Amino acid sequence: MPNRRLEAGAVAAFFLLGWRRAIAEPAALTGRLLLYLLILAIFRQLWLATPLQELGPDAPTAADMLWYVTVTEWIVFAAGLPYRVVEDQIRSGQIESALLRPLPYAAATLAEWSGATAFYLLVMGGAGTAAAAWLTGTAPPTAAAAPLIVASGVVGCAIALLCQLQLGYAAAWLGTSAPLFWIWQKLLFVCGGLLLPLTLYPPALRGLAEYGPFAAILFAPGSLILAPAGTSVAGILGRQVAWFAAIALLTVAVDRAATARLSRRGV
Amino acid sequence: MTAILVEQLSKSFRTRPPPAPGLARLRSVLRPPRAIEVPAVAGISFAIAPGERVAFIGPNGAGKSTTLKMLTGILRPTAGHAEVAGFVPWRQRLQLARRIGIVFGQRSQLWYHLPVASSFELLGRIYGLERGQQRTRLARLAETFAIGDLLSRRVAELSLGQRLRCEIAAALLHAPAILLLDEPTIGLDLTAKAALRDHLNLLSRADGTTILLTSHDTGDIERICDRAIIIDRGRLLMDLPLERLRRDFLKQRTVTIVTEQERPALGLPGITVTAAEPHRLTLAIDIAVASVEQAVSAALASLTVRDLIIENPPLEDIIHAIYRGAKEGSHAEPPA
């Protein structure tokens, strides 16, 4: 067990490294914040100009829609595009240095990303909430559920980071991760309900998307802020946790396959 | 007991020939050419005892780095067996990593955006060092490698020489029993190279650290190592003490005599005058025919000698001669 304790200490050090690195890069934070706030401002105008009431008596208001986008974009911007780090390390061969350390590469990488993402979640969560409250002039529709939304957002980000680690590893086979990443990202935006809650999708697509992994990343925390009647919070969180477990297992398999391939073929 | 044991280790890489230009290229996309196996290391064996300092020498593409990567566990061999510090590297990579230190001259294990001290702190956490232990080791390494002034600077701001000193100190932070160095002085100027070799030599002798070093620079080998393993095209050519390498493959020595006489002259079988200047005579001695002692005795008997310089050909010449011999099919030829 002493090795497990050593590993836990090292993982904590990598988490802190990611957190500090995010603090030390104010330009990256400023860029993300400006784009996030700009998107909220644009969508505020867009939803005001959209006759949402035509969707029916239970239709969300423009303010509800903006709060939903505030949550989904919060996750997208907090997670960022860290897959590129793994892709670059594989392509440049720098991954060799990381593989020479007595700590699994995937654990160190995920810990560092988690540190940075935690920082962005905190700062952008505060900024997003303030901006959405100011733009809509309302409090979040389900302010009491804030701790659940934060927990769900954290799980959503964790799933996104696991997926991005797998996408980064794709460079071990393809030499690049970009093609797979673009496909994954578009599926995330569409099937995850980045801009529109899945409840507004045509029934067939909704049924397909709602139980998929992409919805666990974005729609799950987003739907908690709207929490329409009949929503099962336990069901949403349960699906998220199930997807987290499934994708974590897949990540372990991809990690093993990628490191085995790199050790067979070299970098 | 061995620090490093290598038995019939082989590694080959699968590669496809580059596509031909023009239409043939399109054909190769639809029907890729058959992959071929390119051997990088072909059945090499050696053993290194704890505390030995061994040079792993070979021309470009000889398989040095590939072997070193297999010994660290980041590359899996095609065949053969190896043990480093009692671990099979490619099966027990993480456990092995705690026992060895590695420096790849062209790769960095430090974090470019962090100050050097923070990189060391992080490495200390990775290797599970206690704070007091880490402080003591870092203080010693900082003194040995003269990096005390660099600790507060970001890694990205360091010169190559400064960074390499920090890299080697980082590789030694967890007091590894075995140090693997791949071209540790590549790109350094002469002064920086000399300083780095001195530091490394001092530390390895004091701690009894086993060193396996690959380098194209024979200065590294001469200053640090006492044994040489020579490989070429993936095959082991020689494994012998550095002293024996010199003795067995040194067929010629150079003696320079500074004399009172303005036009000195000396004639003996096996001795050729390679340069004659006022008060100075340079002789090449074929040691198969004459000895250095004979030449010196003859010079002392017939000339008034003011100074005498006996030189060996550079190790580089000896090694090149061995490679030449290997290419031509003979075992090895002595240097000209």
Average pLDDT of every residue of chain A: 93
Indicate which of B107, B112, B174 best probes the interface with A, i.e. most A CBs within 10 Å of its own CB: B107
* Shortest Cα–Cα distance, A243 to chain B (Å): 29
- Band of pLDDT at residue B61, cut at 50, 70 and 90: confident
What the block records as the tokens of B192 is 């920086």
Say yes or no to pLDDT of B296 above 70.
yes
CA neighbor of A107 nearest in space, from B126, B335, B8, B327: B126
Instruction: Check if A161 contacts B (Cβ < 8 Å).
Output: no
What span, in angstroms and rounded, lies between the C-alpha atoms of A143 and A57? 22
Q: Which helix (H) or strand (E) holds B271?
A: strand B271-277
- pLDDT score at B135: 92
Inter-residue contact B289 to B270 (CB < 8 Å): yes
- pLDDT score at B327: 65
Q: Which residue has the tokens 């957190």?
A: A19
- pLDDT score at B140: 86
What span, in angstroms and rounded, lies between the C-alpha atoms of B284 and B24? 58
Q: With an 8 Å Cβ cutoff, are A97 and B122 in contact?
A: no
Angle between helices B190-207 and B160-172 (to 10 degrees): 10
Which range, A34-48, B180-194, B239-253, is most confident? A34-48
Rounded to two decimals, the pTM is: 0.84
DSSP B250: -
What span, in angstroms and rounded, lies between the C-alpha atoms of B78 and B12? 6
> Of A17, A93, A263, which is closest to B76 when you measure between CB atoms?
A263
Tell me the pLDDT tens digit for each residue of B217-227.
Answer: 777 888 889 89
Q: Identify which has the larger pLDDT, A12 or B291.
A: A12
Query: A residues 33-92 near B, CB within 8 Å?
Result: none
Alpha-carbon distances, residue B264 vs A170, B277, B285, B306 (angstroms): 74, 9, 17, 12
Say yes or no to pLDDT of B330 above 70.
no
Which chain B residues touch A if contact means CB-CB below 8 Å?
A: 13-14, 66, 69, 72-76, 90, 93-95, 97-98, 102, 104, 107-109, 111, 113-114, 122, 125-128
Tell me the pLDDT tens digit for each residue of B142-171.
Answer: 888 889 999 999 999 998 888 888 998 999
* A-to-B residue pairs, Cβ atoms closer than 8 angstroms: 64
Q: With an 8 Å Cβ cutoff, are A266 and B13 in contact?
A: yes
What the block records as the tokens of A7 is 């590993």
Q: Which residue has the tokens 């008997």?
A: B301
Q: What is the predicted ipTM?
A: 0.84
- pLDDT score at B274: 87
Among A144-153, B21-30, B77-86, the minimum mean pLDDT is found in: B21-30
Tell me the pLDDT tens digit for each residue of B76-103.
Answer: 999 999 999 999 999 999 999 999 999 9
What residues have CB less than 8 Å from B233, skipping those under 6 apart? B42, B61, B62, B63, B326
Our CA angle for A66, A68, A74, nearest 5°, is 100
What span, in angstroms and rounded, lies between the C-alpha atoms of B154 and B158? 7
SS3 B256: strand
> Of A12, A24, A99, which is closest to B74 when you measure between CB atoms?
A99
> Of B14, B113, B127, which is closest to A102 when you measure between CB atoms?
B127
How would you classify the pairing of strands B79-84 and B280-286? unpaired
